[in-house]
Amino acid sequence: MELDQKTRQKWEVLWYFVQNTGSVLDSIDNVKCGVVLERETGEKRFYSYPSRIHADFENPRFSYGRKSITKDWARVICENLSELGILDHDDIRAPRQRSPTPHYYLKPGVEPFLKVMKFLLDPPELVMMRFNLSNGYVQHHLNAELVRHVLAARGTEMRRSIPIWEWDAAEAPKVFEQYYQRMSVGGIPAPCSFEEYVREMWLSHERGKQPSLIRFPPTIPLRLPVIPEHLSEDERVKAVVGLNSDRLKDYSWLLSHRSGIDGHYARYEHEKWVIPILALIRASPEALKGFLFGDWKPYGLEPSESYCFTADGTGCMQYPLFQLLFTAIRDIAMIRDVDSDRLVEFVRFRPDFRQHPYRMREGHSALMEIDLTNRMIVSYDGSFDTDHTFYGEDLIMPDEETNFSFQSLVEIRCFHSGGDFFAPDDIPVLDGLLRTLRDGRTLAARSIFSRLSHPVQNMLWVYTDEGLEKESWFAGVVLQDLNRLLIRPDLYSPAISPELTLTREGKHVVEHRENIGDINYQVSIFGLTAFNRELLERVFPGDVPERKREEWNNTRYFE
């Protein structure tokens, strides 16, 4: 057998391991194939060995239509999958055996998972049953870590001109001062104070006008590579420094003022690339296959290509994302369904934004929306044309990687007042909360303030008596920021709220908040948002409007 040959029996043995490993990960106890053993870490692992595989394939209860397989051939396949880096083994003595024998299991980690998917997404026979993406093993691995791993392996990076208000409120004034100290050596003094700069940025975004005091708002151009999650903090810093060594000669203080870079990785990259890609590949098997194994590459990053720094910085992935979007549209349009995904709730084409006025904004449209179970909505828009230009008798064909457009937007669902999320009707009473967070007189206020986006932090620092106008750009951004707090599993900490006592339901949410949405723990995103909303109501009494609790759902999370 060739090492990477995709025979029917090899595919079926691998699917046997995938199915049962998924059941173990989901704590489903109705599958009795193989052997499930608890490891020293307390986690369970699915094992099997050649004679057991032979017996399981013979049992019609567990065969799922598979053909039988001999013990010797099962051994050859297990050894072959081990050589490919898909399986590993532990030597365990099975019952009624005198000596240990190799017990095989699926290797953990992203690379082995990619090798598994290479097999499962490309079965050897077209008539073979299409594997189910809802399997627990697959669902556990289709995550942000996988997206970053693939992007990093392809060498993607953002070349951003980062506005100074994207540093946090503690560092942004210092970065502003340092920026103009360097510029003043060349004869360009600061045109205004930091507070005036933030106000100008706020008004220019809200009204769509060029700032009057600052013709060219200060930015820091940086190359920001996608970094795999397994790297240490030192390795992450080294990766950024390695691409920006020349820039750091001019801005050496950036290494001591890193909140702008940290914010990029914690939020900006996550919402510009990771969440939109993850939603597409979980909604569409064809998009998943194209993203993992397609021949796409980042555009414009080669030395011979021209790729400039922009405020958005996402140019190198615009064309691959355009391709991924239309691959998903074609795939989903054919089946009109999303196959039991635990992140993707449903997909909507050409959504009617008039039904949700809180989300309407000038120029905001979408070709497709994906609603996620974590209460986020990802909107996608894309376009292209087939227009060709003639120059004399010559036909000028546009570059396919420039003749298109792609946009994505991540928002929080907050359809109406009365639920856990803040809605537009709550805006008039949120001024008190914003001032409390800005003043930071308590540990809780300072902690919550630090979790807001950096532009909002800086806007709140110069926010005085204007009031939060209902239709303003500022109001919409703040509302989305506050609602992002409600889906954070780490919002509560006993250290910052020692006066609060958890109920039994509250303790259950805290114990399993890192597993929100996992079917093992039965803690939904609704439980987390209700918990966090009650936390804010208790920590900031009078500043956070109390929800109207329904009789059928009057759960209390704090005494």
Q: Are residues 128 and 12 part of one domain?
A: yes
Q: Are residues 517 and 445 part of one domain?
A: yes
Name the least confident of 263-267, 305-309, 420-424, 435-439.
305-309
Average pLDDT over residues 423-436: 83
How many CA atoms does the CB half-sphere of 61 hold within 13 Å? 6
Q: Which pLDDT score, from 0 to 100, does residue 552 have? A: 43
Distances (CA, A) of 397 to 289, 318, 385, 386, 394: 29, 20, 12, 10, 9
Q: Are residues 358 and 452 part of one domain?
A: no
Q: Which pLDDT score, from 0 to 100, does residue 392 have? A: 56
Q: Are residues 405 and 460 part of one domain?
A: no
Q: Which pLDDT score, from 0 to 100, does residue 133 have? A: 77
Condensed to tens digits (0 to 9), the pLDDT of residues 321-365 reads 999 999 999 999 988 888 778 889 999 998 876 555 444 444 467
| Contacts with 33 (C-beta within 8 Å, 6 or more apart), sequence order | 16, 20, 48, 52, 56, 62
408, exposed or middle or buried, with CB in 10 Å at 0-12, 13-18, 19+?
A: buried
Bridge partners, residue 550, by sequence: 553
Tokens of 333: 């349009």
Q: Are residues 450 and 398 part of one domain?
A: no
Phi-psi region of 235 (alpha: psi -120 to 50; beta: other; left: phi over 0): alpha
Residue ending a domain, choose from 348, 377, 412:
412
Q: Rounded distance, CA 382 to CA 380, Å?
A: 7
pLDDT-derived band at 534 (thresholds 50, 70, 90) equals: very high
Is 545 inside a domain boundary?
no
Is 273 inside a domain boundary?
yes
Is 552 inside a domain boundary?
no
Is 556 inside a domain boundary?
no
Is 146 inside a domain boundary?
no
Q: Are residues 98 and 59 part of one domain?
A: yes
Q: Which pLDDT score, from 0 to 100, does residue 152 have? A: 97
Is 85 inside a domain boundary?
yes
Q: Are residues 169 and 131 part of one domain?
A: no
Q: Say which residue, 396 or 55, is predicted with more confidence.
A: 55
Exposure string (b/e) for 423-447, b if CB count within 10 Å is 16 or more?
Answer: bbebbeebeebbebbbebeeebbeb
Name the least confident of 33-37, 68-72, 302-306, 508-512.
302-306
Give start and end residues of each alpha helix (H) in 84-170. Answer: 110-120, 136-141, 144-153
Q: Are residues 119 and 66 part of one domain?
A: yes
Q: Are residues 338 and 190 part of one domain?
A: yes
Q: Which pLDDT score, from 0 to 100, does residue 199 have? A: 85
**Helix H or strand E encompassing 233:** helix 233-243
Would you say 454 and 168 are in contact if contact means Cβ atoms under 8 Å apart?
Answer: yes
Q: What's the domain count of the chain?
A: 3
Q: Are residues 91 and 42 part of one domain?
A: yes
What DSSP letter does each residue of 438-474 carry, written as one string? HHT-SHHHHHHHHTS-HHHHHHHHS--SS---TTSHH
Cα angle value 270/316/146 (rounded, 5°): 40
Q: Which pLDDT score, from 0 to 100, does residue 467 have? A: 57
Residue ending a domain, choose from 115, 137, 159:
137
Is 377 inside a domain boundary?
yes
Q: Which pLDDT score, from 0 to 100, does residue 511 have? A: 85
Q: Say which residue, 538 or 548, is predicted with more confidence.
A: 538
Does pLDDT of 302 surpass 80? no
Residue ending a domain, choose from 137, 162, 186:
137
Condensed to tens digits (0 to 9), the pLDDT of residues 132-148 reads 778 889 999 999 999 99
**Residue numbers of the domain that contains 479:** 424-539
Q: Are residues 315 and 287 part of one domain?
A: yes
Name the least confident of 10-19, 45-54, 212-221.
212-221
Condensed to tens digits (0 to 9), the pLDDT of residues 76-123 reads 999 999 999 999 999 998 777 788 999 999 999 999 999 999 988 887
Q: Are residues 444 and 315 part of one domain?
A: no
Kindly report the average pLDDT of the chain as a whole number: 85
Is 547 inside a domain boundary?
no
Q: Which pLDDT score, from 0 to 100, does residue 17 have? A: 94
Condensed to tens digits (0 to 9), the pLDDT of residues 165-214 reads 999 999 999 999 999 887 766 667 888 899 989 988 887 776 566 666 67
Residue 16 is part of a domain; what is its CATH number? 1.10.10
